[in-house]
């Protein structure tokens, strides 16, 4: 037995009182879960503590909370581990708070309907069958279905939504969980509307290009869904396979960085902004959209020049790597970009070689690795047919 101090954030919006923290002492084995500690407090010390839970086995996704500042499942976090987690960890105190980015209903219970489920509904979370629907089952490539299993592993606990840093400043952002759900159907070869789904999420000012790539959702997820990685795949298919040039500069920004590195070897920062707004050309700075943005940024630009941060010659010409190296880099671009299908390694599927002894983890990956030409590439449509109209799989 070990003694832990459970520090719970208490709040009842209907009471009119401000939130406060209340401490409870709990004796439990260190390998017991934070949820068990909360339920013990509720049963033996204070029945008014509000917590939502069901399966107690990390499958129903009901008990998402923040533990010592990090989002996770209360039933999936051991007490000893929890007490050692976080910046202010002292080995015995466990701070439990409701998830963030969602309104609190009571204590540790948040309103999932108001945020999480609305966003899930927003991405049309069901399969839109390709027509004609086959008489019997669809036949789809094995690797495509393995590919979407990562996003299918989501248990809708909301841990990623809780700590999404983009949503913190832009509550309208579609967010990590819904984006992962979107990929589940974008990556499904039976779905008829890959293009429409992507166009919708790329054009939305709070869609896939609103993600700041901060990795918070990857660490938050108790099921390894890695929502941010799914967002990057949505972007990849939207821009490369469907050539969706969105109003948010997402596609142009990608093309600008990729292009500048091909042409200079290094980022030519002064060209990044105009080309992200005006398109990939030296003349982009005269494009009206780029002009408006440059004007808006003029105070920053003049200050940078005044402070000697940026010298005008370098801003105009950029910096580049030596010629022989630039030629080599461009050779790599030609070789890789010239391929008919993208070649990718998905570590979620393939696992790590050193860990192949671990039985369950290695089974599936080995099968997939042997199946295709190396790893299967992203399940985008064939580059030769850059729309979703291809029906070749639905034999």
Partner 1 sequence: MKVAYWPGCVSRGFTPELHGSMAAVAPLLDIELVELDRACCTGAGVIAEHNQELADTLNARTFALAQQVQGAELMMNICSTCQGAQGECQERLDANSEYREAINGNLAAEGLSYEKGLTNKNLLWLLVEEIGLESLKQKVKRPLTNLKVGPFYGCYIVRPRDRLGIDDEHPRDAYLHWVIEALGGTVIDYAGVHKCCGFPIVTMNKQASLRQAGRHLSDAQDAEADCLVVPCPLCHLNLDLQQPGAAKAVGRDDLAMPVLHLPQLLGLALGLEPKQLGMSKHVVKPTSVIDWSSAVVGAPAAA
State the minimum distance, in angstroms, from the CB of residue 41 to partner 1: 27
Dihedral (CA of 101, 106, 111, 114) sign: negative
299/359 with CB nearer partner 1: 299
The DSSP call for residue 328 is H
- Closer of 197 and 252 to partner 1 (Cβ): 252
- Chain centroid offset of residue 97 CA: 23
Report the nearest approach of partner 1 to the CB of residue 395 (Å): 29
Q: Which is nearer to partner 1, 35 or 211 (CB)?
A: 211
- DSSP tag of 241: I
To the nearest 10 degrees (0 to 180), the angle between helices 250-264 and 323-337 is 130
Q: How far is the CB of 37 from partner 1 (least distance, A)?
A: 21
**In the complex, least distance from residue 49 CB atom to partner 1, rounded to whole angstroms:** 26
Residue 133, token pair as written in the block: 């629907």
- Indicate the residue among 49 and 375 with the shorter CB distance to partner 1: 375
CB of 154 to partner 1, least distance (A): 17
Nearer to partner 1, 61 or 351 (CB): 351
Find the shortest distance in angstroms from Cβ 330 to partner 1: 10
Q: Which C-beta is closer to partner 1: that of 56 or that of 262?
A: 262
Dist CA 268 CA 248 (whole Å): 21
DSSP string covering 66-104, please?
EETTEEEEGGGSBHHHHHT-STT--SSEEEEE--SSS-E
**H or E segment and range at residue 265:** none
CA torsion sign, 382 to 385 to 388 to 391? negative
Residue with tokens 């902004």, as numbered in its chain: 273
Peptide bond preceding 132 in cis form (omega within 30 of 0): yes
């Amino acid at each position: 037995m070990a003694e832990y101090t459970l520090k719970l954030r208490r709040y009842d919006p209907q009471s009119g009182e401000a939130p406060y923290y209340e401490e409870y002492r709990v004796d439990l084995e260190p390998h017991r879960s934070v949820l068990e500690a909360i339920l013990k407090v509720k049963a033996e010390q204070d029945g008014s503590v509000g917590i939502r839970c069901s399966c107690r086995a990390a499958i129903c996704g009901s008990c998402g909370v923040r533990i010592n500042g990090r989002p996770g499942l209360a039933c999936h976090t051991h007490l000893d581990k929890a007490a050692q987690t976080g910046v202010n960890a002292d080995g015995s105190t466990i701070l439990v708070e409701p998830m963030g980015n969602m309104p609190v209903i009571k204590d540790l219970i948040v309103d999932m309907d108001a945020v999480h489920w609305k966003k899930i509904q927003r991405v049309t979370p069901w399969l839109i069958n390709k027509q004609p629907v086959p008489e019997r089952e669809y036949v789809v490539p094995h690797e495509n279905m393995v590919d979407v299993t990562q996003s299918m592993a989501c248990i809708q606990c909301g841990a990623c939504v809780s700590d999404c840093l983009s949503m913190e400043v832009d509550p309208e952002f579609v967010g990590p969980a819904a984006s992962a759900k979107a990929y589940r159907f974008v990556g499904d070869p039976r779905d008829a509307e890959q293009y429409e789904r992507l166009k919708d999420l790329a054009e939305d000012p709070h869609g896939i290009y609103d993600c700041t790539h901060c990795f918070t959702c990857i660490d938050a997820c108790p099921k390894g869904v890695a929502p941010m990685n799914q967002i990057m795949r949505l972007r990849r298919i939207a821009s490369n396979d469907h050539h969706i040039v969105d109003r948010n500069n997402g596609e142009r920004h990608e093309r600008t960085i990729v292009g500048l590195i091909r042409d200079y070897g290094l980022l030519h920062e002064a060209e990044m902004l105009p080309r992200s707004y005006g398109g990939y050309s030296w003349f982009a700075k005269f494009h009206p959209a780029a002009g408006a943005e440059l004007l808006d940024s003029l105070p920053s630009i003049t200050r940078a020049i005044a402070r000697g941060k940026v010298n005008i010659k370098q801003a105009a010409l950029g910096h580049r790597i030596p010629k022989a190296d630039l030629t080599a880099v461009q050779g790599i671009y030609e070789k890789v970009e010239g391929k008919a299908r993208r070649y990718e390694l998905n570590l979620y599927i393939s696992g790590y070689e050193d860990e192949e002894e671990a039985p369950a983890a290695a089974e599936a990956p080995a099968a997939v690795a042997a199946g295709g030409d190396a790893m299967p590439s992203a399940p985008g449509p064939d580059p030769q047919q850059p729309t979703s109209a291809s029906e070749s799989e639905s034999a």
